[in-house]
Amino acid sequence: MATIRQQIQELLREGEWTALELSQELSVQEREIYDHLQHVRKSLRGEKLQVSPYHCRSCGYIFRKRERLDRPSRCPQCRESHIGVASFTIIAC
């Protein structure tokens, strides 16, 4: 039986997933997924966790330089909280 992090790695190697989709697939809370993703990011060798950035649905601002993996609470440009989700995948370096 594989651990949660091993299961996350397997799913991310197959395709692109959001944290919500991963949490539903693995039956864990979404906020736990972000913690696991941080550890997966650090443990990858010869591979990279690719993150499609969060974006503001109101003004279109893209969170390009965000290092944290969890969802931002609001947009720094327009202060709205309509943030589009990021997706994650693992790619070879």
Kindly state the average pLDDT of the residues 56-64.
Answer: 95
- Written as six digits, the tokens of 89 are 């995948």
Domains and CATH numbers, the chain: 4-92 (1.10.10)
pLDDT band for position 2 (50/70/90)?
confident
Specify the long-range contacts of residues 57-60, CB closer than 8 Å, at least 24 apart.
Answer: 57/82, 57/83, 57/84, 58/82
- d(CA 59, CA 84) in angstroms, rounded, equals 11
- What's this model's pTM, rounded to 2 decimal places? 0.88
* pLDDT score for 17: 97
Q: Write out pLDDT tens, residues 29-46.
A: 999 999 999 999 999 999
